[in-house]
Structure 1
Amino acid sequence: MQALPGTLLRHLKHSVSALLPGSCALCQQQADMAVCTGCRHAYFEHQQERCLQCALPLPANAASLRCGDCLRNPPAFDMTVAVCDYAAPQDQLVLALKFGHQLALAPWFAAMLRDSILRRPAFELPHYLCAVPLGAQRLTERGFNQALEIAGPLSRQLGVPLHTKLLHRSRETARQSSLPIDARARNIRQAFSLDEHALHTVKDLHIGIIDDVMTTGMTMHEIATMLKRFGAAKVSTYVFARTLPHT
């Protein structure tokens, strides 16, 4: 019997698992979705005020919608929506998707992100969504791009087209999380390019960029800088989790 291609086999397993009773990815109790109602209430219902631009938590009664760093040195992207902090136990969900290949988590991430986007006051949907691309070597090693796995269902849930070929990774880079803060900007500089057939696609448009985690924002800043160089009017970033400054 001929073996199924890896991509087909992975999606077949995902489809079958969606039809079978499962367990919560956090508490392991039986659940009909990736995260049970109890864990969702415990870890995701509390909505804290976040910086409009970078999504870091704001202090109570903050005088501005932007944090001090964004006021002093604003990044190239215009706003960020994040579901939660990258902290225990929510960080385990990110690790399970990215390194545990639990792809069934991706549509749930997308649903949570959709709800967070729609809750934003005076929210404005982008014209296109795209995922932060992986380099060829990283994609081969992992077998999938977790940002793209989230972007697909989010695109369908929001009714916003997903442009899968808009962004390219121009060169391989070290993992941002493995580098000291002062080396991350150098690591990611000029690491992304716009598809040659889409050089005029972004002009005057609002582009939404999706990733699983925002650590320092350097990756999104680099992508937004490049998109605005080609005329994008606005760049929004959508991430499941936001790393806190001390982590």
Structure 2
Amino acid sequence: MQEGLHQLKYQKRIAFADGLSRAWNQVIASQTMNMSADYLLPVPLSIQKLGVRGFNQSWELARRIDCAPHIQQSPYILKRHHYSENQAGNPLVNRQTSIRGMFYIEPIHIDLLAGKIVVVFDDVMTSGATLNEIASILKDNGVSRVINWVLLRTSRPT
């Protein structure tokens, strides 16, 4: 699956999102169809990164995930400020400190999230710093519970 994700993310081969999400659905969807959640949100890219890549790989995967019909999927609720450096290859300590304050919720959506259960989807988890920061932002803004889903997990954070 790692090669498929690299093709999607770095070679802009969007068709790989179908195969990767199909694999997810075959393995995981039966366990999540009846779960209690209100929103499924992808980890966002900054507007600048989105412009360079052309798409958000986490959203391309998340929007294809089979989940209960009451779970709203949206790429517009969570936002990310631009960070000039890539996290990939950054030491663990740098990842944890550089990600602070990077994410925010669009103000028009804050009331919608109050008391809700939110699933955050990311393509890859390395140190967990990104998902921890997003969970903190969501909880600070009234979300009652955050669940993290990731397609792939690196074997060892550096």
Question: What TM-score results when the alignment is normalised by the length of structure 2?
Answer: 0.88
Which residue of structure 2 aligns with residue 234 of structure 1?
Answer: 145
What residue identity is the alignment partner of 1:92?
Answer: E
Residue 233 to residue 117, structure 1, CA distance change in 2 (3 Å): farther
**Consecutive unaligned residues in structure 2, runs of 5 or more:** none
8 A Cα contact 1:188 1:218, kept in partner: yes
Of the candidates 37, 49, 56, which is equivalent to residue 138 of structure 1? Answer: 49
**Structure 2 counterpart of 1:211, one-letter code:** D
Larger radius of gyration: 1
2:125 and 2:152 in contact (8 A); partners too? yes
Cα displacement (A) at 1:238: 1.5
Deviation at 1:180, TM superposition (A): 0.7
Q: 1:118 deviation in Å?
A: 3.5
Query: What stretches of structure 1 of length at least 5 have no aligned partner?
Result: 1-89
Counterpart residue number, 1:204:
115
Contact 1:98–1:146, Cα closer than 8 Å, also in 2: yes
| Aligned residues of 1:173 and 1:187 also touching (Cα < 8 A) | no
Letter in 2 for 1:164: P
**Separation in 2 of the partners of 1:210 and 1:237?**
6
Q: What secondary structure is seen at the aligned counterpart in 2 of 1:216?
A: coil
Question: 1:195 & 1:180 partners in 2: Cα distance?
Answer: 30
1:191 equivalent among 90, 94, 102: 102
User: Structure 1 residues 228, 97: CA separation in 2 closer, same or farther (over 3 Å shift)?
Assistant: same
C-alpha deviation, 1:122, in angstroms: 10
Q: Residues 238, 245 of structure 1: CA spacing in aligned structure 2 closer, same or farther, 3 A cutoff?
A: same
Query: CA 1:107–1:125 in 2, change beyond 3 Å: closer, same or farther?
Result: farther
Task: Give the length in aligned residue pairs.
Answer: 156
Partner Cα distance (2:3, 2:84) in 1: 24
Task: Give 3-state SS (helix, strand or coil) of 1:201's partner.
Answer: helix
The one-letter amino acid paired with 2:86 is R
Residue number in structure 2 paired with 1:73: none
SS in 1 for 2:147: strand
Aligned counterpart, 1:216: 127
**Using the alignment, how far apart are the partners of 1:242 and 1:173 within structure 2?**
24
**RMSD (Å) for aligned C-alpha atoms:** 2.1
Q: Secondary structure at the match of 2:112?
A: coil
2:81 equivalent in structure 1: 170
* Residues 19-98 of structure 1 mapped to structure 2, 5 A cutoff: 90-98=1-9
Structure with higher RCO (Cα < 8 A, 6+ apart): 2
| 2:13 matches 1:110 | no
What is the CA–CA distance in structure 1 between the aligned matches of 2:116 and 2:157, rounded to whole Å?
Answer: 35
User: Secondary structure at the residue paired with 1:231?
Assistant: coil
